[in-house]
A = this chain, B = another copy of it.
Amino acid sequence: MAEIRIALAQIDTCVGDIDNNARTILERAQQAAGAGADVVVLPEMTVTGYPIEDLALRASFQRGAHAALEQVAADLASRGLGSLTVVVGTVGATRPSSDHPEPRPTNRAVVLQHGAVVASYDKHHLPNYGVFDEFRIFAPGHETCVVEVRGRRLGLVVCEDIWQDGGPVAQMAAEGVDALLVLNGSPFEEGKGHVRTELAARRAREVGAPLVYVNMVGGQDDLVFDGGSFVVGADGTVLTSAPRFVEHLLLWDLAEDADAPHRGEVAPELDQDEEIYRALVTGLTGYVRKNGFRSVVLGLSGGIDSALVAAVAADAVGGENVVGVSMPSVYSSEHSKDDAKDLAERIGATYRVQPIAPMVDAFQGELALDGVAAENLQARVRGMILMALSNAEGHLVLATGNKSELAVGYSTIYGDAVGGYAPLKDVDKSRVWALSRWRNNLALDRGEIPPIPESSITKPPSAELRPGQVDQDSLPPYDLLDEVLDAYIEHAEGRVELLARGFDADVVDRVLALVDQAEWKRRQYPLGPKVTALAFGRDRRLPITSRWREPLS
């Protein structure tokens, strides 16, 4: 049996950007061939990007993907790469049957050799939970696929196929393969890296062969793909792994002797704050670039949320492409203005000051608002200023709200909720502080200036919409709030379970009532990167018009 070299091409595709995705496939194939690879494996739905949602149902899109795949196969051959085996994902189609006379789209992996598609595999298990809607758009496959390369039998499956017991993996075990290649579009969530390797280890043992796991990387709408491609041996050991959150070409040799597998470099693990911070940067980078922006604008209040968003933005697009706008009102404290300016200087952002009094006064002169209407007015004037700068100068507006605020509806629609992207949408307030400290410590470790002013981290949070206001006037302390939210939202516990955990009944009732009523606000919020197991929006889908309220005391 020959030893063969497999290249795991961990790349960043863009949904619908078929030409560029095809170009990237060719480049990686060339690079892999140059490094002596026999096989190059790319992520799930490489040609089309992932997830394509209802684009799958459009005939012209299917035709476009099909034509691009044929062209890639031809280009590989014409570049002298015909003998390289290239495994890519794309949108396929079922063969018409009596039950389904019209072809239906499939989530397909194909094998290219010598200018042609020599084998293909349609994903069996179509996930339809959490962020996934594949059962909606794809028809499942029912066949297995094994391709031979220099006498070695390589089985093919796609992502969810290894997350379900039985199915094609069990069939691979029965048919016998020398390695199982898995194409993935597995979105990031905290701690998921370990879950993947443990799962892959179990499947490798089931199949009795190494498992080659190739994941995509990059931000796509509200999903962040973290890469972290790897190979586990037949005994479940991680043999080699790619770094996360970057494109990478990982080479691994499938040994002649199954009992003496080759090992390669293993990427260092990331701690919890680091992986989340990097997910935020990756998500924002992808959203800005893939939507054709070059710069971002955000309001700098002097508070911790906008400071962390600015730091993430500077890491994503460069401080010189960040515009921070201080928009003080009569209620803004001096320290807020100082902290905002200090932050902008630390990260090298453009800093502007635009007081809101002239506009607020104009509205008040006409409408004479008070109470919540007057508070919201201030937030909305700020939102309009940011949108005006976006329209005039072309920056993407970032919303700075965090998950705790979003959970309880502590935000102003068309005010601080304005923006194309909300980096902290899935980051609760406790984590906002932790990430800020982590990022500052990283700077200190590197001998750099910490991006976030210390006083933004230490002062009590305030929306500064009325004199002396602090968040804790309306909300429980954030550490307590975040615990209740975690139990109620992430773990879907009810009031009974929350009280049994020892939470105070008044706090529980107050928080649950706020959460149950805030769905319409959450629905209006911009997209943000999913980093936890349960992100608002794609993961958790609720009616707006619902009179369900968790039963209270």
Contacts and interface: CB of A to CB of B under 8 A. Distances in A.
Contacts of A51: 543
Contacts of A391: 369, 371-373, 376
Nearest to A52: B543
A376 B363 contact: no
Contacts of A15: 543, 545-548
A503 interface: no
A541 interface: yes
A545 B366 contact: no
Interface stretch (A182-190, A299-307, A378-386): A378-386
Number of copies: 2
Contacts of A361: 362
Interface in A256-311: 286-287, 290-291
Nearest to A16: B548
Interface in A127-168: 128-129, 133, 135-136
Contact of A376 (B128, B387, B542): B387
Contacts of A369: 388, 391-392
Interface string A392-435: 10000000000000000000011000101000000000000000
A551 interface: yes
Nearest to A219: B545
Contacts of A363: 359, 384-385, 388
Contact of A414 (B58, B387, B527, B543): B387
Given A51-B543, A135-B135, A524-B524, A548 B388 contact: no
A70 interface: no
Nearest to A392: B373
Interface stretch (A59-67, A171-179, A245-253, A468-476): A59-67
A372 B389 CA distance: 11
Most buried by B among A369, A387, A548: A548
A540 interface: yes
Nearest to A21: B547
A35 to B, nearest CB: 29
Interface string A56-79: 011111011000000000000000
Interface stretch (A106-114, A232-240, A490-498): A490-498
Most buried by B among A286, A287, A413: A413
Interface in A215-245: 219-221
Contacts of A541: 53-54, 133, 136
A9 interface: no
Contacts of A136: 128-129, 133, 135, 541
A380 B413 CA distance: 13
Nearest to A166: B99
B220 A543 contact: yes
Given A358-B366, A366-B358, A388-B363, A14 B545 contact: yes
A388 B377 contact: yes
A367 interface: yes
A87 interface: no
A544 interface: yes
Contacts of A290: 545, 547
Nearest to A129: B136
A543 B221 contact: yes
A320 interface: no
A101 interface: no
A138 to B, nearest CB: 11
A496 B58 CA distance: 13
A492 B55 CA distance: 10
B367 A388 contact: yes
A520 interface: yes
A354 interface: yes
Given A16-B547, A359-B362, A383-B414, 19 more contacts: A14-B547, A15-B545, A18-B548, A53-B542, A53-B543, A55-B542, A55-B543, A57-B492, A64-B548, A135-B136, A286-B545, A358-B366, A363-B385, A367-B389, A376-B388, A380-B387, A384-B384, A387-B413, A414-B414
6 contacts: A58-B492, A60-B496, A359-B362, A359-B363, A380-B387, A414-B418
Top 9 A-B pairs ranked by shortest CB distance?
A16-B548, A60-B494, A362-B362, A17-B547, A373-B391, A16-B546, A373-B392, A15-B546, A16-B547
Interface of A: 14-18, 20, 49, 51-55, 57-61, 63-64, 128-129, 133, 135-136, 219-221, 286-287, 290-291, 354, 358-359, 361-363, 365-367, 369-373, 376-377, 380-381, 383-385, 387-389, 391-392, 413-414, 418, 420, 492-496, 520, 524, 527, 540-551
